[in-house]
Amino acid sequence: GIQVEQSPPDLILQEGANSTLRCNFSDSVNNLQWFHQNPWGQLINLFYIPSGTKQNGRLSATTVATERYSLLYISSSQTTDSGVYFCAVARSRGSQGNLIFGKGTKLSVKP
Amino acid sequence: EADIYQTPRYLVIGTGKKITLECSQTMGHDKMYWYQQDPGMELHLIHYSYGVNSTEKGDLSSESTVSRIRTEHFPLTLESARPSHTSQYLCASSEPPRLAGAYNEQFFGPGTRLTVL
């Protein structure tokens, strides 16, 4: 099956710092989503981005489908950004649109 | 407001009990999913459904069962809970693709954290 690798696994930032999270995948995809899981376990949709670039406030994401990676940028980080960030993909062929998740990047933002 | 609801949010029960985790959505979506997540780990798909009377097994084998009698409702049942079933269970839904090979965004409910003693 498709492999989804996220890096780094853990990240500690000082409030106000910028960061880049990476997601590599091993096959062609027709869906890629970034999620933030808050301390209560809820998955918050950040981006639906099978290709191209999107921005939402302090967050932006870029997916280069031909090179099989996606990047999530967090600027001017805040303590509320803490949590786990997941990348999830659906393979273009034979996946029925079902998502495969990476292991996540655990982000801690210190005040 | 369109949303996905899961009840209960937290459940602590004894071994051998039968439980049903509820999931309902007012998004108008046809496709629904159940994922299982152990603490600190990634999510794994255990069941999905394309619509009424459709149920499919996901990538991770599970002793749970699901049913889809109404479009908006997708409950998950464990006939006899065991400590190995302790986990978080998340329900999701998405619109069917308008084009062949295109997949739409999935939206998740708040999850049910299950502990079996």
CATH of the domain at A32: 2.60.40.10
Residues near B22 by Cβ (< 8 Å), separated by ≥ 6? B5, B6, B7, B8, B73, B75
Answer yes or no: is pLDDT of B100 > 70. no
Residues near A10 by Cβ (< 8 Å), separated by ≥ 6? A105, A106, A108
pLDDT at A39: 85
Q: How many domains does chain A have?
A: 1
Domain residues for the domain of A51 are: 4-110
Of B111, B115, B114, whose CA–CA distance to B43 is shortest?
Answer: B111
pLDDT one-digit tens code per residue, A35-52? 999 888 889 999 999 999
Percent of chain A scoring above 70 in pLDDT = 100
Of A23, A109, A50, A40, whose CA–CA distance to B104 is shortest?
Answer: A50
pLDDT at B102: 65
Q: Which residue of B has its CA nearest to A31?
A: B103
Answer yes or no: is pLDDT of B98 > 80. no
Residues near A37 by Cβ (< 8 Å), separated by ≥ 6? A43, A44, A83, A84, A85, A86, A104
Confidence tier at B40 by pLDDT (50, 70, 90): confident
Q: The tokens 């967050």 sit on which residue?
A: A59
Q: What is the mean pLDDT of residues B30-59?
A: 93
Q: Does the beta carbon of A28 lie under 8 angstroms from any beta carbon of chain B?
A: no
Interface contact flag, B113 A41, Cβ < 8 Å: yes
Q: The tokens 């780990």 sit on which residue?
A: B41
The dihedral over CA atoms of A20, A26, A29, A31, expressed in degrees to the nearest 10, equals -40
- Cα distance between residue A59 and residue B87, in whole Å: 30
Measure CB to CB from residue A43 to each of B58, B108, B113 and give the nearest one.
B108
Domain residue spans in chain B?
4-96+107-116
Residues near A66 by Cβ (< 8 Å), separated by ≥ 6? none
Q: What is the mean pLDDT of residues B10-19?
A: 96
Measure CB to CB from residue A41 to each of B44, B88, B101 and give the nearest one.
B88
Answer yes or no: is pLDDT of B55 > 80. yes
- Cα distance between residue B95 and residue A87, in whole Å: 20
Q: The tokens 């940028």 sit on which residue?
A: A73
pLDDT at A92: 79
Mean pLDDT by 10 residues, chain A (111 residues): 95 97 94 93 93 97 97 97 96 82 96 95
Which residues in chain B are closer than 8 Å to A30, comparing Cβ atoms? 101-103
pLDDT at B117: 96
pLDDT at B81: 95
Of A102, A96, A94, A99, whose CA–CA distance to A25 is shortest?
Answer: A102
Interface contact flag, A100 B105, Cβ < 8 Å: no
> Average pLDDT, whole number, for chain B?
92
Q: Which of residues 39-78 of A touch B (CB under 8 A)?
A: 40-43, 45, 48, 50
Tell me: domain B4-96+107-116, CATH 2.60.40.420, correct? no
Interface contact flag, A43 B113, Cβ < 8 Å: no
pLDDT at B99: 66
Answer yes or no: is pLDDT of B2 > 80. no
